[in-house]
Amino acid sequence: MLVSEVSSLPNGASASSRIVIIGSGAIGLYAASLLAMRGRNVLVIESGDRHLGTFAAESYVSVGRPHRGISLGRSRSLGGTTNLWGGQLVEFQPIDFNGRDWLPGSKWPVGYDEIAPYYARTYENLAIPAAMQHDEGVWRGISSDCPQLGNDFEVFLTRWLRTPGTAVMFARQIESDKKMCVFTGCTAVGFRGEGGRIQAVKVLEKTGKSHWIDGDVFILAAGTIENSRLLLHTAQDPQWECPWRANKTIGQFFQDHPVCKIGVVEPTDKRTFFNMFSTIVLKGYKFQPKIRFRNEVLAQRRILNVQGFFMFEGKVSEHLVYLKQFLKAAIFSRKLSGTGDLFRNFIGSIRFLVPLMWRYVKDHRIFVPGSANIGLGIQAEQAPCADSRITIDGSSLDVYGLPRVVLDWRINEHDLESIREFAIQIRDAMQSAGIGRLEIDEDLLNRNPKFLSNLRDNYHQIGGTVMGFSEQHGVVDKNLRVFGTTNFYVGGASIFRTSSNANPTFTAMAFATRLVDHLTGSGTDKANQSQD
């Protein structure tokens, strides 16, 4: 249920058994839902309100490589950044967890075999049917074979949620479940505790009134950047002996996924190409074909993980994208604007509506106009770098008294070399398979550092509170508990040691599923704990 005033929250015995979650985004509301269904009392604290909001410009600054996501890729509102999220679900691969001898710091305390069972359970929690969880079932469902690009590459499918926003996804439970309280307009600004046990979180209302909220367990799930900011800020609090004050890794190893277009494609046959790589729609779910190196090839070539995806570009595509975004805003009750643009884009795409519907119904594919140009885009892993980091500037405070975030995002030459290797090998594989010709960007092909200016972030903020084997190695342990504490946990992509080539939210949710098991002593994690 939604709580209007902090003063109305129960204290005493009920507070002592309460789990307090800071943040209502992909991890906060998802974990709260699971915990409440298992009978735990959960309170979610959200700094924003029910309307789509952003972070104040004075609360952050980017001093390294330009980073658009710090301003455009975050939302301060009920549902957090899932209000901006497309809902794309992608699993990480074994090589992402198990460590690479040539990539320092790449081994996670949790191996792939430990997290893999939680992917299936997270699919189930998100209402993805079993038949839709595996690529083979999707290809069978559309009576098609998975495209083949030789022995080094694999084509895989990403899945898209029907309803990506957690505020919408869990709206009914928020309103009716007495075990689950959600409080908006309430910013976490501090903690108090004794020894390694956190006893309460200090929150500040918009009016400036402050409160202490007691709890038994605390989960920080405010997003990658805000997780680091709150930990760094509270470590400087002179009023208590902060358990993580001496941890030097907080804020380090910030990563994002560099993305860009690396070349243009001239297919051997456009119709065949579209049938292989255009987006699939099956039983109301969307699946996007993408390409990556196989794990063994990455290990052999000693390169970072890169994925490729084909971009279908043209004026008609722009019209259709606009219409899709407008309808999505209407369906999910977001603010509507630009009705004049709606009419213009409708007129621009009206002659394609019949073939669009025919393609959708007959072939289970998203229609791509034959006039569309084709580009190859990439989304790349970047090597962990301690100097790529989040810090705070105490000389500049926001309205809540929190210090300004200082983001220093960095990319190194190894990242560029992996992208180049991927481009060359996929060019040769496409030619060998008779699919078409890829013309690679000349600056990339010639290792010109100028190409780095083409790379931008993909709003996939990762790291800053990474999982480690000890507090010298990270901020949280394998169970996401902050080192030095007994009841304080961190959720989200901020705990990742490496970034893979995959969108991070689904793996962060899988770890949240595992964390709920850990806190409730049930499920797959119970078996894992017995082996520890």
Q: DSSP string of 289-338? A: EEEEE-HHHHHHHT---EEEEEEEESHHHHHHHHHHHHHHHHHTTPPP--
Integer Cα distance of 384 and 32 in angstroms:
31
Q: Looking at the structure, give the CATH architecture of the domain made up of residues 1-56+69-103+110-126+164-244+465-532.
A: 3-Layer(bba) Sandwich (3.50)
Beta-strand runs (E) in 27-179: 41-45, 60-62, 88-89, 99-100, 103-107, 153-160
The answer to whether residues 158 and 88 touch, using CB atoms and an 8 Å cutoff, is yes
Q: Which helix (H) or strand (E) holds 439?
A: strand 436-440
Measured distance CA(292)–CA(153) in Å, rounded: 6
Distance separating alpha carbons of residues 240 and 191, to the nearest angstrom:
9
| Helices 505-520, 112-125: inter-axial angle, 10-degree rounding | 90
Residues of the chain with pLDDT under 50: 12-13, 316-323, 325-342, 345-350, 352-358, 360-362, 525-532
On whether the CB atoms of residues 190 and 458 are closer than 8 A, the answer is no
Instruction: Find out whether 379 and 310 touch, Cβ atoms under 8 Å.
Output: no
Backbone angles phi, psi at 125, to 5 degrees: -65, -25
Output the pLDDT for position 8: 57
85 Ramachandran zone, left/alpha/beta (phi>0; psi -120 to 50): beta
pLDDT at 349: 46
| Cα 105 versus chain centre, distance | 21
Q: Tens digits of per-residue pLDDT, 164-186?
A: 999 999 999 999 999 999 999 99
Residues linked to residue 271 through DSSP beta bridges, in sequence order: none
The pair of three-digit structure tokens given for residue 463, joined into one six-digit string: 């790291």
Whether residue 510 contacts residue 119, with contact meaning beta carbons closer than 8 Å, is answered with yes
Which helix (DSSP H) or strand (DSSP E) does residue 391 occupy? strand 389-397
Of 316, 246, 320, nearest to 485 by C-alpha is: 246
At 305, the amino acid letter reads: N
Contacts 24+ apart (CB under 8 A), 334-340: 334/52, 334/83, 335/51, 335/52
